[in-house]
Amino acid sequence: MKNEMLEWEVVASLTDIAADRPLEIFVGNTAVILLKVGGDVKAYQGLCPHQFARLSLGTISEGFIHCPRHKACFDIHDGVCGPGWQLPALRQYHVRVEAGVVSLPNPLVFKPGQD
């Protein structure tokens, strides 16, 4: 699906997203976390794929977001599960940042390869 064909919904201001903690937002009934990664914003599923803990309550350290329930970790750059766990990667959504405003498609659209 081409980005220009998507319906974009404003979900946050760039200033709402701290560099060291996830921001939880909802698109419809779906929890999503927004992360600042370098100069980019990443949007991932908001619930851990293991026991569905809210990742917004987790911590970010050493390039990983850590689940608050069982400490599984996921790479903040691509959502891939870190060492010690064999869980699916976090679903990553398309995100657009323009003039300090963060938007996601509604309905949500996964990045390629995650359908």
Read off the pLDDT of residues 65-79 as tens digits, 9 standing for 90 and up: 999 999 899 999 999
Q: What total of structural domains would you count in the chain?
A: 1
Indicate the burial class of 6 (C-beta count within 10 angstroms; 0-12, 13-18, 19 or more).
middle
> Under a CB-based contact definition with an 8 Å cutoff, are residues 104 and 27 in contact?
yes
Give CA separation, 37 vs 7, 19, 60, 65, 74, in Å: 24, 7, 11, 11, 13
**Residue from 69, 73, 76 nearest 18 by CA:** 76
| Domain membership flag for residue 110 | no
Q: Hey, which residues does 39 pair with through a beta bridge?
A: none
Question: What CATH number corresponds to the domain at position 100?
Answer: 2.102.10.10
Read off the pLDDT of residues 77-107 as tens digits, 9 standing for 90 and up: 999 999 999 999 999 999 999 999 999 999 9
Q: Which domain holds residue 13?
A: 3-105
| Domain membership flag for residue 113 | no
Q: How far is 6 from 67, CA to CA, in rounded Å?
A: 31
Tell me the pTM: 0.91
